[in-house]
Amino acid sequence: MRTVTLAGVDVELDDDGFFARPEQWTEAMAPEIAATQGIDHLTEDHWRVVKFMRSQYLESGAGPTVRVLGKISGVPIKELYQLFPKGPAKLAAKIAGIPKPRGCI
C-alpha cells in the first residue's frame, strides 16, 4: 500500500498500482494515471471504456475481464487492444480507479 498525489489529492494505491479505495477516485485523476501507463491522451473511446469499467464495478462489485468487456461494452476486442495495448481490462481498471479485474478468461 502506498499513497500518491493525483490531481492534487492524496490517494491510496495497492502494490500493483490499483486504487485501494475506489471512492477516492475522480475523473480529473484519470489522465494522470493514463500518462503513467503510456497513454498520453485519453480519447473519447478511451473514456467510453473507462467509464464502462467503473459503472460495471459500481454495479457488480468487480470490473469485467477483457472477454466480458468486449461482449457487453460494444467495443470489439481488437479495438480494445488498440486503445489499451498493455491489457484493456487491467489498464482501464487502473485508470478508472477500481480494483484489478479477476478471472481467467
Partner 1 sequence: MPDTVERETVDSDDVDRASIGPPSIEKVSIIVSKGSLEGVYPALIMANGARAEGMEANLFFTFFGLDAIHKARHDHIKVATVGNPGLHLATMLGGVPGVSAVMTHYLTHKMGKLDIPSIPEFIEMIADTGCGLYACQASVDLFGLEKNDFIPQVHDIITVGEFYEMAAGGQIIFT
What residue has cell string 494515471?
Answer: 33
In the DSSP assignment, the letter for residue 17 is S
Residue 96 contacts residue 47 (beta carbons within 8 Å): no
Residue 63 contacts residue 24 (beta carbons within 8 Å): no
Residue type, 28: A
Residue 33 contacts residue 6 (beta carbons within 8 Å): yes
Binding of partner 1 by 24 (CB under 8 A)? no
Binding of partner 1 by 53 (CB under 8 A)? no
For residue 39, the minimal CB distance to partner 1 (Å) is: 12
In the DSSP assignment, the letter for residue 41 is S
For residue 87, the minimal CB distance to partner 1 (Å) is: 4
Binding of partner 1 by 78 (CB under 8 A)? yes
Report the site for partner 1 in 4-23 (rule: CB under 8 A). Answer: 4-6, 12-13, 15-17
104 carries an active-site annotation: yes
For residue 77, the minimal CB distance to partner 1 (Å) is: 4
Closest CA to 23 of 64, 58, 49: 58
- Residues labelled catalytic: 104
Binding site for partner 1 (CB under 8 A): 1-6, 12-13, 15-17, 32-33, 36-37, 65-68, 70, 76-78, 81, 85-91, 94, 104-105
